Structure 1
Amino acid sequence: MDTQSTLEKVLRGIAITAVILFFMFPIFWIFLMSFQTNETILRVPPSIVFEPTLTNYKALITGRLESTAGALEIEFMSNLFNSAYLSTMAVIVGLILGVPAAYAFGRLKFRGSEDIAFTLLSFRFAPPLLVLLPLTIYFQQIGLANTYFGLIWVYQLIVLPLILWIVRGYFEDIPADIEYAYRIAGHGFWATFRKIALPLAMPGIAAAGLLAFIFAWNNFIFALVLASADKQPVTVGALAFVTASGIQYGQIAAGIVLSILPTLALALYAQRYLVEGLSLGAVKG
């Protein structure tokens, strides 16, 4: 029995290791590419043995890309800032609007609530091209085209339905008796929401905020159409690496590494926060 249990653990460990290597290898390969020149990347057969260089990162940070066709000015760091600003502000606005709405849908059952909630969720299912043309015309008429403010509101089509449905599920899982007891003690609706419901649902809010940030960060089509170069995020700015002289694979790889660092850091931080939040919630319960 012990031998069989040990064998199962070994096989499970091998299977988990194989799965991790399978999914992590592309990221590892891109990381290696970021330290190579185009000539090294395109050689056949490929090899993990090469002389590393920081040229790609230097080009991104300085904003000057050297190619066979000459020097090319790129605004990668500006695009990186745009991504961080747009995603952060979009998530903040989404949480301000979505968390109270999620609580209302989770606690206040009124006629048509499910239909309204599903309609909001359907915005997440709709392809962006469906709304791009009317949005472009509308934004040009009211002066929101090529503005951070306009992009942040458009990003609500991405983040708001996600926040609404994830957080709503957490509010519904909170026993209503806890809130009723707090209300009977003489506290109002807003105080109950702020001091009872919000702390208990904080793990769900954190998870929703993290996922919304990642989806907003990865958005491409909205910023491509509704913003010019000085407002575009890194997903659109990466098109600058496709030049007349060819595709700059090394700079693209370095750009991918730099662009995933903020979301990776946020994910690692939020993971620890979620564990702490769930532990505190279990103690309180």
Structure 2
Amino acid sequence: MTDTASHVTTQHATGVARRRLGRVLTTVGLLAYFAFSLFPVVWMILLSLKDKQDQLTTYFAFSPTLDSYRAVLGLGDADAGVPFLRFFVSSLVTSIGAVLVSLLIGVPAAYAAARFSFRGKENLMFTLLSFRFAPELVVIIPLSVIYPQIGLFDSYTGMIWVLQLVTLPLIVWILRSYFEDLSPEIEQAALLDGYSRTQAFLRTVLPLVKPGIAAVSLLAFIFAWNNFVFPLTLTSSNAQTVTVGSLSFIGGNEAKFNFTAAAALIAAVPPLVLALSIQRFLVRGLSFGSVKD
């Protein structure tokens, strides 16, 4: 009996030790992966704080300076010679405009796709989705010919229009699942109370999917903000965005990598601030559409 109890105790202790070792190794592995994933961001921060002489060095001991940020933003006497603030404003205008237009069209379209049945609905939805996943070069060539002829080249209107290929399919397809998760009895009850279909949609259904709208708006904004091919081809200066404008610092006779790093970090601020400001809606919205009865 004593030997048996001692053997069981030893096995239990061994099992506990193995589980603890497994948790420690898992934690160490996750921390290593986190550090590996975060290292490019840390390196960009360090690079943005270096001066001209230290930007190509790989050591971490240097005198940090904010001259790169001052030059990129054109503060004081520092000027990088690139209108980065104009590119920043262009990105804000085109990205926000694209999301607003997509919401105006996409929310009713997603509701119709979720609630009504009509011939060719799934084919239409698949065609809309194919615009999102098709290579952007498919439409760049004809648009680069058509845009100058109709006066949309290097304009906010032209960029907002073409970014619908990025934002609209995303909004329609994601919001469709949100509307499908809502019981049709909600609208039926509102219709019995005397509401019209439009009133039932605006007063009963739309408030329930606000978290989903917040989540998909953020995702659409990020995709529009990060788009590179469309502004590279369809703009030159007036409507050029930060994704293309940031490359201006590494052109010419001298590559200013510290300026590029500072510009990239500044460009990352709007999506980050937006995500933090709607965080409670974002978490709820991302989980809402994935729960099925």
Amino acid across the alignment from 1:50: F
* 1:82-231 correspondence to structure 2 within 5 Å: 82-231=90-239
- Which of the residues 58, 61, 69 maps onto 2:70? 58
> For 1:105 and 1:202, how far apart are their aligned partners in 2?
18
Residue 16 of structure 1: aligned partner:
30
Query: In structure 2, do the counterparts of structure 1 residues 276 and 115 end up closer, same or farther at CA, with 3 Å as the change threshold?
Result: closer
- CA shift for structure 1 position 177: 2.0
> For 1:9 and 1:110, how far apart are their aligned partners in 2?
54
Higher Rg of the two aligned structures: 2
CA RMSD of aligned residues (A): 2.5
Amino acid across the alignment from 2:66: L
Counting aligned pairs with the same residue, the percent is 44
CA-to-partner distance for each residue in 1:116-173, whole Å, 9 max, x for gaps? 0110110011112111122122222222222111111111011000111011111111
State which drifts further: 137-146 or 85-94.
137-146
Alignment length (residue pairs): 275
For 2:200, what is the secondary structure of its paired residue? helix
- CA shift for structure 1 position 213: 0.4
- CA shift for structure 1 position 238: 1.4
Q: Between Structure 1 and Structure 2, which shows a larger proportion of strand residues? A: 1
> For 1:142 and 1:261, how far apart are their aligned partners in 2?
34
Residues 1:252 and 2:260 are matched in the alignment = yes
> For 1:148 and 1:130, how far apart are their aligned partners in 2?
21
Query: In structure 2, do the counterparts of structure 1 residues 42 and 112 end up closer, same or farther at CA, with 3 Å as the change threshold?
Result: same
Residue 30 of structure 1: aligned partner:
44
> For 1:167 and 1:279, how far apart are their aligned partners in 2?
12
- CA shift for structure 1 position 72: 5.8
CA-to-partner distance for each residue in 1:31-71, whole Å, 9 max, x for gaps? 1110002432322xx222210011111110118998xxxx8
Residue 61 of structure 2: aligned partner:
49
TM-score of the pair, normalised by structure 2 = 0.85
State which drifts further: 145-154 or 182-191.
182-191
